[in-house]
């Protein structure tokens, strides 16, 4: 998710918009470069509005959200549910709603400008504890039960976790790594604590801290295609909502 397509799309739209103005002023034809760029302005404008304010597609590049999301999953992200933001600048101009615990969220982590996707585990003010792979939120143990239908990686187990009313799948090591062995923090105001569902194989808020609200991108709500390599055909077997 390193490619900043939004910035490139915005610059192209500005270039084509300027060409449209010049074309109107000099009354050039579509067979000129300015005319061609001007003709692209409406199309780029529609694409920019849809991607910036409505829905944006992403491809999952890592195993940090296994088993919920796998490498090669193509997902859709709701860009307006957490507030309407200006493209590139990310300034919120309209409030809509706040993230909720259990949401799968796309965001920029506090340490770099690169898209990440994790699950909202901690809300502002929450106390988060992990002890030997078991998650506690504000002192309440989040129940975990075995999920036998989904195969796990070697030395790992897939479980259903109830995150204060939100059921979702996680994968954890039978012998927890240092990420899940003994961790404790309190989420600051205006921040969210993010964790991957692949609990022992995820760089998340346990490593680089909670995510400020102004670095939120949107909520992942659906998988629409799976395509992990050009050597295989796309599959729609995993299409559906993201829990």
So which residues are the catalytic ones? 64, 118
Q: How far apart are CA 86 and CA 177, in angstroms?
A: 40
CB 214 within 8 A of CB 92: yes
Residue 210 DSSP one-character state = P
With vertex at residue 143, the alpha carbon angle to CA 160 and CA 140, rounded to the nearest 5 degrees, is 145
How long is the chain?
243
Sign of CA dihedral 25, 26, 27, 33: negative
Q: How far apart are CA 174 and CA 154, in angstroms?
A: 10
Q: What is the crossing angle of helices 5-26 and 33-49, to 10°?
A: 140
């Amino acid at each position: 998710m390193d490619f900043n397509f939004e910035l490139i799309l915005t610059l192209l739209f500005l270039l084509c918009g300027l060409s449209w103005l010049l074309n109107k002023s000099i009354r050039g034809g579509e067979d000129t470069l300015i005319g061609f760029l001007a003709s692209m302005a409406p199309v780029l404008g529609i694409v920019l509005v849809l991607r910036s304010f409505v829905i944006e597609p992403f491809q999952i590049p890592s195993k940090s959200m296994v088993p919920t999301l796998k490498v090669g999953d193509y997902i859709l992200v709701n860009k307006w549910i957490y507030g309407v933001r200006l493209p590139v600048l990310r300034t919120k101009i309209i409030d809509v709603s706040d993230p909720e615990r259990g949401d799968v969220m796309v965001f920029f982590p506090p340490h770099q400008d690169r898209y990440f996707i994790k699950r909202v585990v901690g809300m502002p003010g929450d106390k988060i504890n992990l002890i030997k792979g078991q998650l506690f939120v504000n002192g309440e143990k989040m129940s975990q039960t075995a999920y036998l239908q989904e195969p796990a990686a070697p030395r790992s187990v897939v479980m259903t976790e109830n995150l204060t009313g939100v059921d979702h799948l996680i994968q954890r090591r039978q012998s927890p790594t240092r990420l899940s062995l003994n961790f404790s923090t309190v989420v600051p105001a205006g921040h969210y604590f993010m964790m991957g569902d692949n609990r022992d194989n995820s760089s998340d808020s346990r490593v680089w801290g909670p995510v400020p609200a102004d670095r939120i991108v949107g909520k992942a709500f659906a998988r629409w295609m799976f395509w992990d390599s050009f050597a295989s055909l796309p599959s729609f077997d995993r299409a559906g909502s993201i829990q």
